[in-house]
A and B are shown apart, each in its own frame.
Chain A
């Protein structure tokens, strides 16, 4: 097969689909100039492939080395359908490339009147100056300029010129992923610059480091001794954890088994927010509102649905909030969002995020007023619903290797009663995962640690043998508590599948 970028350019939808179905392929990887697949599909106007990529979680606002986003390319090449599709999926309509040009600059310059109009209707500013101090209106034919100007005024735009501001430093955040991430399996421990010790838990020690310029986390499995057989099993098991093709699954990048001293090391991307458990119960400073909580639930359900669709399924993965990582929703990162202009370039303005979300928790109406203030120019928004900024990913690095922690369960609170009693071979693992999901829903709703006051052994014995169950406190919506009950059905066969749960959650989110 030709390389995937060629396939996308030429519009071979079938081959692209096959490629995307391979778990080891990373759909957000970039080519030598950091054009992502979506860049190429947008540039060539491959509507069906653009659609496919978006559905699978491609990053809408990824930038290439020239800081073009896919919508820049679609607008510049006159692909109206693609432009609309991208706008519909929250593409940043005022994204600026290295020349200071917005998509509207290009649509105007190349005379794609229709596209220029669509862009303005979707909030594109007609008075953003590029590096040469030209605004989009300077680029188009007079009749067109007048038309767009009138439309902008009708929409309430302030027409005074917005000067060019160099924001190329933002590029590092939005650029397409380095393709090497998904290319290597075996990594030499010497290549990892392990610097910061993050944590030591029962399952291993985690270190922060960097590899080929990427922030990574290396988890050194806790092992009393590492035998040759362990190493063999380890090398056999880890490749299936390299799942790059689903937005809600966090892949293991690679592994290494250094000989001296003998260790087993699992490497994955660094997630500054940590786990969902940490986000909900730790001192993360992140406020998770109802909407964001539902979004997490949907993300997790999607990730699990994907894992459940694999044949054979990956065994030994226990779904708990500790095994779900929180990430910025890179697919939706929008550098024009005020939180990215607040000067704090390193941590994407978590504080800003909180100021947006706190009123929501307190019951203020959902209006995205904060978002629309941009350098004093109110931007008319077509979609007034706040988009969540964080996404949840099932962390494959928390897979339990077959030889690891044998005979022990450190988080029995999330396990179904049957999983506490019988071996995975003797139960319906998918149904058992659904029980774990119900516990996660409970956790997201109550913001409490399940069975917080009990020790693992007590939880296990009491849930398995004495019928101990979580109680659903009052104050939780009737829809949600009904869903939890269904997912926590005592009869494993009566629990729903993830593909049945996702639409219910989506509906709740829309109506909430």
Chain B
């Protein structure tokens, strides 16, 4: 405890140097913790020596420096965005992947949304036992859907590990869900964290570090298992690629022409989303009021907003969900742009005489 108070006092003695905003957020954080602490499982960061381990028992945790891994941070953010996208209709916003998922409530909503089912689990509860029971029901259901053997999942994610807010377990679980449901996100490849494993051997604690793979390399192209025609096209037939581009360009211009718009270059004229929105309106017979998007986007956020809106319109038109992320389009990723346009093309290329795409 002496250590704690020392931390405390040093924090206050440093106070004048802190920018006010930081101080405020710290204070808020502290207040939040104070309010929430009775309901969350007690897991203060008391260091390895705090654990009461039986002989040969081991515990693992993420090595602190591993948390700074930019790939890990990206992965967490992508998963968060995905969950928030899926649960937008429930007005649920998940901010923290460790703090918000441990009690099973969000996981229940997520699996219900993904499977379009209702999972009969008890209502939100404050007690640890209640939370764990709920989590058990939800995880059992998820394991059943994913079709993973109980032992394997026990190793990767268990009621106890998820409930104790173990980041690695939660990530394994979410990555498995995202893959299984073909989430329209691209997971960063080769995300590996370093685990600190503590074992009690002969009454002394022995620590070692083990690398733990969250996502692999080869199987994460485009966030799903298989390669598609565009991958092949890009890798093996660059000459054909130009034919495809030309066909798409003709198709797009045939429609945009009505608005006196013309695309000359597929590579860099779709990244702000405006043409995609116009195209969808022309093809589906509606107008999109101008307050719904940015007619002349100037920032990255504007462009992402526009592309997201265009994606929404495509989804409404029952087009297959684009594999690309809106960000990919904004970043002028040609493969992603072509995939999206190709989706549109296949649905709306109409009538006899229209040219099929040679692929």
Q: Which of A224, A225, A461, A465 has the most CB of B within 10 A?
A: A461
Which chain B residues border A412 with CB–CB below 8 Å? 286-287
Which chain B residues border A456 with CB–CB below 8 Å? 281, 285-287
A114 to B282 Cα, complex, angstroms: 69
Q: Across the interface, do A457 and B291 meet the contact criterion of CB distance under 8 Å?
A: no
Contact of A408 among B116, B258, B287 (CB under 8 A): B287
Question: Cβ of A88 < 8 Å from any Cβ of B?
Answer: no
Which chain A residues border B259 with CB–CB below 8 Å? 457-458, 461
Question: Cβ of A419 < 8 Å from any Cβ of B?
Answer: yes
Q: Which of B285, B288, B313 has the most CB of A within 10 A?
A: B288
Which chain B residues border A420 with CB–CB below 8 Å? 287, 289-290
Q: What size tier do the contact residues of chain B reach?
A: 20 to 34
Question: Cβ of A363 < 8 Å from any Cβ of B?
Answer: no
Q: What size tier do the contact residues of chain A reach?
A: 20 to 34
Q: Across the interface, do A457 and B278 meet the contact criterion of CB distance under 8 Å?
A: yes
A50 to B117 Cα, complex, angstroms: 56
- List CB contacts (< 8 Å) of B248-296 with chain A: 258-259, 278, 281-282, 284-292
Question: Cβ of A344 < 8 Å from any Cβ of B?
Answer: no
Instruction: Select from chain B the residue with minimum beta-carbon distance to A225.
Output: B116
Contact of B287 among A422, A423, A426, A457 (CB under 8 A): A457
Which chain B residues border A227 with CB–CB below 8 Å? 89-90
Which chain A residues border B313 with CB–CB below 8 Å? 407-408
Instruction: Select from chain B the residue with minimum beta-carbon distance to A412.
Output: B287
A420 to B316 Cα, complex, angstroms: 21
Q: Across the interface, do A459 and B287 meet the contact criterion of CB distance under 8 Å?
A: yes
Q: Across the interface, do B289 and A228 meet the contact criterion of CB distance under 8 Å?
A: no
Which chain A residues border B312 with CB–CB below 8 Å? 406-407
Contact with B along A409-441 (1 / 0, CB 8 A): 110100000011111001000000000000000
Q: Across the interface, do A407 and B285 meet the contact criterion of CB distance under 8 Å?
A: no
Instruction: Select from chain A the residue with minimum beta-carbon distance to B309.
Output: A407
Q: Across the interface, do A464 and B290 meet the contact criterion of CB distance under 8 Å?
A: yes
Instruction: Select from chain B the residue with minimum beta-carbon distance to A408.
Output: B286
- List CB contacts (< 8 Å) of A221-251 with chain B: 224-225, 227-230
Question: Cβ of B231 < 8 Å from any Cβ of A?
Answer: no
Which chain A residues border B318 with CB–CB below 8 Å? 224
Q: Which of A229, A407, A419, A465 has the most CB of B within 10 A?
A: A407
Question: Cβ of A10 < 8 Å from any Cβ of B?
Answer: no
Contact with A along B305-320 (1 / 0, CB 8 A): 0000100110110100
B141 to chain A, nearest CB (A): 18
Q: Across the interface, do A457 and B289 meet the contact criterion of CB distance under 8 Å?
A: no
Question: Cβ of B32 < 8 Å from any Cβ of A?
Answer: no
Question: Cβ of A479 < 8 Å from any Cβ of B?
Answer: no
Q: Which of A405, A457, A458, A464 has the most CB of B within 10 A?
A: A457
Which chain A residues border B292 with CB–CB below 8 Å? 407
B152 to chain A, nearest CB (A): 32
Interface residue ranges, A against B (CB under 8 Å) = 202, 224-225, 227-230, 405-410, 412, 419-423, 426, 455-461, 464-465
12 sampled A-B residue pairs with Cβ under 8 A: A202-B284, A407-B309, A407-B312, A408-B287, A408-B313, A409-B289, A419-B289, A421-B290, A421-B291, A457-B258, A461-B278, A465-B290
